[in-house]
Chain A
Amino acid sequence: MHKTIKLAEAVEQIPDGARIMIGGFMGVGTAPRLIDETVRQNKKNLTIIANDTARPGVGIGKLIDAKLVRAIIVSHIGTNPETQRQLLAGEIEAELSPQGTLIERIRAGGYGLGGILTSTGLGTIVEDGKPTIDLDGQRFLVERPLKADFAFVYAKQADYLGNLAYALTARNFNPLLAMAATVVIAEAQNIVPVGVIPPDAVMTPAVLVNHLISMERRNG
C-alpha cells in the first residue's frame, strides 16, 4: 500500500477555488512544505479554514502575501496586517468565528453532526443572522458544521501507513481537520517504521490520511 506521494503531485490535485483546512496556530503546526508548494504552483481563489493567518511571510501568511486567497474562515487576523489590508480593500472575504466555536464547527463537520449549540457569541454581533434555540430554559446559538475539500495536516511523526502523532502545542487544529476534509494530505517532520508510534500514541489513525508527503533525501 503506497500512501506516500511527491509534494508536487499532492498539490497538483488541488483545483483553483478549492476549500482547504490548514492546521496551525500562528504558523506553529502549519505544514511548511505544503504551503510553499501551494504558493509555487500559484493555486488561486482558495478558501482557507484555519485558526489564523499568522504573520506576513509565516505559515498561512505566505498564501495571503501571494494573493491566493479569496475567503477565510478564521478566529483571528490581528497579527497579520496584510490580511487586514486585503480585507479592508475588499480583496478577501472573512468570516470571523470565535476560536472555540470554530474548532467545534470543524469537529461537527468531521464527526457527522448537524451543528453545535453554544452560548459563546450570544448577544454579540456573532449572533447576527444565525438561529438560536431555547433548550431546557437555556438559550443557545446554533452554529453550522464546517467541511473542506482538502486538509493540510502537519505531524511530528508519521509511520509508513500514515498513522500520525503530533508534538506539544503544534497539535492544535490538526487532528480535527483530519476528520473534516474529503482529501487529507499529511506532512510529517519524520516518517518512521510501523510500530514506532504505539497504538495508544496514535492521535490520527492512518485510515483518515489519504496522502503522506514523501521525504526529500537530506543526507546525501
Chain B
Amino acid sequence: MDEKTLIAKRVALELKDGTLVNLGIGLPTQVAAYVPKHIQVFFQSENGIVGMLSLPEEGLEDEDLTDAGGRPIGALPGAATFDSAMSFGLIRGGHLDLTVLGGLQVDQMGRLANWMVPGKIVPGMGGAMDLVSGAKRVIVAMTHTVKGEAKIVKHCALPLTSSRPVSLIVTELAVIAPTEAGLELRERAPGVSVETIVKATEAELIVPENVPEMPVS
C-alpha cells in the first residue's frame, strides 16, 4: 500500500454515520474512496453543495456543478446547493462535523500551517482558515516528512492557518493527537517502530507504554 492510500484509509475510519464532512483538495480527497460500508456521509464542498459525489461517468459533466477546484462532480439524491454565505455558515456555525485538510507544518501545540510559503507561493487561504477555526473536528492528513525534513515541528516557520489546535494528525507513520499536555502518539503504521516515528518528528511526542498499530488493511 502506498503512503497516501494508507493515510486516506486510516482517516476514513474516523468517519461517522450521518455526518457532514468537508475534504480539502489533494490527499484528503482520496478519503472519499474509503468510506466504510454501512455508513452514509454527506460531503460538503465550500463552493456551495452538500451531497457531492464524484462524477459518475465521463460525458455527464454539468458546467454549473463542480467542486471547489472547478472540477465537474455529481450529486447524491437529496443533495442541496446554496450560496457561499450559507456554505461558510455551515462551516463556522458549528454544523460541519469534520474537515480533513492537508498540511505543510503542525507545531508542538497542534496548530496547523498550510496556506502559504512566504516568498515562494502565495496561493491565498481560500476556505482553510474558516474550516480550521470552525469545523467541530479537524484532521490533518499529510506525509510525516518532506524531503527528509520533519513537518511536525516545535514551532511552525510558516504562517499559521488558525490559532486553534487541530483534533488529529494522520501520517503514513503515525496517528498523533494534540492534547493539553502536548502531542500524544496514538497509533503507529503497520510495521513502523516508535523509534522511527520519534526520529521523524521534531516536536516532542508523548509516548504511551503501548502504541497500537493502525487498524488498517
Partners in one complex: yes
Residues of A in contact with B (beta carbons under 8 Å apart): 25-29, 51-52, 54-55, 74-79, 84, 87-88, 94, 96, 98-101, 103-104, 107, 118-126, 156, 166-176, 203
Secondary structure class of chain B's binding surface, majority of residues? loop
Chain A contacts for B148, CB-based, 8 A: none
Name the distance in Å between B27's Cβ and chain A's nearest Cβ. Answer: 16
CB distance from A76 to the nearest CB of B (A): 4
| B17 proximal to A (CB < 8 A) | no
Query: Is the CB–CB distance between A28 and B66 below 8 Å?
Result: yes
Does B63 belong to the interface (CB within 8 Å)?
A: yes
Give chain B residues whose Cβ lies under 8 Å from the Cβ of A88: 122
Contacts of B18 in A (CB 8 A): none
- B83, A99: Cβ atoms closer than 8 Å: no
Q: Residues of A contacting B45 with CB < 8 Å?
A: 169
Q: Is B146 an interface residue (CB 8 A)?
A: no
> Could you give 16 example pairs across A and B, Cβ below 8 Å?
A25-B68, A25-B70, A26-B68, A51-B84, A79-B70, A84-B122, A87-B122, A99-B84, A100-B134, A104-B88, A119-B164, A124-B162, A126-B125, A169-B45, A169-B47, A169-B64
Contact A96 B125 (CB under 8 A): yes
Contact indicator per residue, chain B 79-95, by CB within 8 Å of chain A (1) or not (0):
00111110110011000
Nearest chain A residue, comparing its CB with the CB of B92: A100
Smallest CB–CB gap between B60 and chain A, Å? 13
Is the beta-carbon distance between B64 and A123 smaller than 8 angstroms? no
B159 at the interface (CB under 8 A from A): yes
Q: Quick check: A107 and B85 within 8 Å, CB to CB?
A: yes
Instruction: Using CB atoms, name the residue of chain B closest to A99.
Output: B127
